[in-house]
Chain A
Amino acid sequence: MSEISMATLEKPASIPAQPFKDKNFSIYYFKQMLRIRALEERLIKMMRSGDGYFWIGGPGEEAFSVALGAQVHKGHGVDYDFLHLHYRSNGIALTMGSPMIDFVRQMKNTANDPFSGGRNFVAHICKKEWNIVPVTSPIETQFACAIGTGIAQRRAHQQNKTKGVTVVVGGDAGTAEGEFASCLIWASRPGFELPMLIITTNNGYGISTPGSTQHGEKHIADRAKAFGIEAAVVDGNQPEKVWAAVQTAFDHIRETSRPYFLEVKVSRLHGHSSSSGAARVTEEVCCIEQFEKKLVKNKWITESEIEDFKKQAYAEAQAAHEEVKNEAYPDASTAHDHTFAGGARGGVPGRDF
């Protein structure tokens, strides 16, 4: 295994009080955004070259993904944050420290895909050691399931004085589904408020349909406010702003044990998925290009360093791809495995098990 494919970028040991006035932190943030983009572009290439059947992901959401991934309290159990993510969340897990090859293996549906063992689409991640629960294709079920981890964490806040937060992330179109309303209602029951960070990444589209043709509300965040939930809308293309918004949200929840709603306005730079071609969209803002200009303006980074960082990120993604090219699919005999706990098989009783 080559070293570069397993490279992870560690966040600075301590985060400065004003992170974006700090050169080192800003460069860390930039590099992490580049890694996410390089991974997503590699996954799209894999789909096009036949090393995967379908691509979906989150290019355009890098500034937000790093803000969340780097501020999560990572660990296992109710004392740490729970993550109910969706299929544009690869960058969050990559920032948390999952190596690129994990995502590449899921794209290639290999037996050693650590998220689903070759069973699910790319970006349908799961990592129990960090409380990342399985991502599913329905765009709303995570909002219902998050209620339960929220209840468990509320109990832990009260009994053990811990500060774990349930984070649930979905797109703007998913807020039309009933589970989104369920989440707002259950998170804000009087006297039983839940320590939840409810996030809508609003890219303005539901597949190909503009949100403006389907939703009458000015801001999705206004719906949370109706339940007495503290809420904010933030430009997800600006690292400084989205970092601060996520920090404010976490601080509020850890301090009060009450929910917080964040609407993050993001770009969608490769369309909905490979079903619409996944071609690069040019008319939307790219958070990386914006941030790059700022770093250059501050003279924190040179053009040649930028090129070098990009090369490193693309090389890391390419090496991960090379690594998995000849890795095997899961064996057909394992199809029934893990239907039940302990690896137990399902199927027809007396025939399959």
Chain B
Amino acid sequence: MASMAQAIRMALHYGEDKLGVTDIFGEDVGAPLGGVFTCTQGLKTTWNTPLDERGIIGAAIGLALAGQKPVAEIQFCDYIFNTIDLLKLAGNNNWCSNGQYPLDMVVMTPVGAGIHGSVYHSHSFDAWATRLAGWKIVMPSTPRDAYGLLLSAIQDPNPVMFMAPKALLRIKGEELIPGEPEDDKELKERIDAPVGEARKNWVPNWPALEFSNIEIGKANVVREGEAATVVTYGRMVHVAKAVAEKLSAEGYGQIEVLDLRTLYPYDWSAISSSVLKTGRVVFLNEDTEITNFGEHLLRRTIEEHYYNLRAKPRVLAGAHIPGVGLAPPLEEASIPQPKDLEEILKEMISELT
């Protein structure tokens, strides 16, 4: 099975081959590196930029204004913060022009902790991103979803931010991407650039991929249950699934895990149905907890389902501290851990109503 990095690469290949992508660019995105996570190796429209994030986002906006179809990368979301003015502009361009200038552009950026990345390679951008009106925001939890969501992002005529949980980029999936060879080794030989001199003249041998997208705005029930709901996305989907399995084995009943896949426009209907079914919900993500995206979902849950709840709803998120520390105990203290989720779920399920 493909890793998420390979899945992204295949979606970008499909995008430039079949969907009209004209430019895939960013820092080290082009040859020889093909991206620090190898997500852009072997593609034909890649090029390298100066190390200038504002220039990168500006270039994407301008290319879209000129009717091109750009995919720009910010190497780590930790470095996207100095582009916030331009991200705001990309989101308001169509609205301010009363519909004259929609911007058909994608920005990809790796997010989150889990690779011992210390202060500037571990941050999240979830809540900031969802405040950017005019953008669609997606985050996959599997290579299959990464492929499908990126195809949708490319196809969408609006600014779409594709956030890839960096700790998952090298993890292989459990589901075949339509068109992907079944043998891992074959895939690697076909689409991974060789190391050293051999890279110079290498060209990939792309598999015959299919357009099999994941619709923006649709959540995925990755585990069904009645005892409680965990609403999450990205890397935390796997934490939630593992905790749900453990608690089920311990007799706490079945816990539903909802993978949002799209942060905006989020699938309220899916959240709502699950909350009405279980009456217990925790919103889980690794961004810092004050003014967290989960807090918005919690607010809607309270406003619309207060009388349907069987236990107080919760947000489990990262600690509100200035950085994710490098030493493992510091990173663990910053990011939600399985034991934290386990504790909350046990408490919720045990709460008598």
Contact = CB atoms under 8 A, between A and B. Distances in A.
Contacts of A343: 99
A342 B157 CA distance: 9
A145 B266 contact: no
Interface string A108-146: 000001011101100010111000011010100101111
Interface in A204-263: none
Contacts of B101: 126, 128, 133-134
Interface of B: 23, 49-50, 52, 54-55, 57-68, 70, 82, 85-86, 89, 93-102, 104, 133-134, 136, 157-158, 217, 264-269, 272, 300
A349 B268 contact: yes
Interface in A318-353: 337-343, 346, 348-351, 353
Looking at A113, A147, A153, A182, the one whose CB has the most chain B CB atoms below 10 A away is A147
Looking at A77, A78, A82, A149, the one whose CB has the most chain B CB atoms below 10 A away is A149
Contacts of A141: 58, 85-86, 89
Contacts of A40: none
Interface residues of A, number: 49
Nearest to B98: A117
A186 B52 CA distance: 9
A152 interface: yes
Given A119-B98, A133-B93, 5 more contacts: A116-B96, A124-B96, A134-B93, A136-B96, A341-B157
Contacts of A78: 66-67
A152 B62 contact: yes
Contacts of A144: 54-55, 57-59, 61-62, 86
A-B pairs, top 6 by smallest CB distance, nearest first, are A148-B62, A144-B58, A117-B98, A341-B102, A152-B66, A350-B268
A126 B95 CA distance: 12
A237 B99 CA distance: 37
Contacts of B64: 148
Nearest to A150: B62
Nearest to B82: A178
A186 B266 CA distance: 36
A148 B63 contact: yes
A274 to B, nearest CB: 20
B345 to A, nearest CB: 26
B67 A77 contact: yes
B62 A134 contact: no
Contacts of A82: 65-66
B94 A341 contact: yes
B158 A182 contact: no
Contacts of B158: 340-341
B267 A338 contact: no
Nearest to A178: B54
Looking at A145, A166, A182, A348, the one whose CB has the most chain B CB atoms below 10 A away is A145
A338 B95 contact: yes
A229 to B, nearest CB: 15
B328 to A, nearest CB: 36
27 contacts: A115-B97, A119-B96, A126-B100, A128-B100, A133-B101, A134-B93, A136-B89, A141-B86, A144-B54, A147-B58, A147-B62, A148-B68, A151-B59, A151-B63, A151-B68, A152-B62, A152-B63, A153-B66, A166-B62, A182-B58, A186-B50, A186-B59, A189-B50, A337-B99, A342-B157, A346-B95, A351-B268
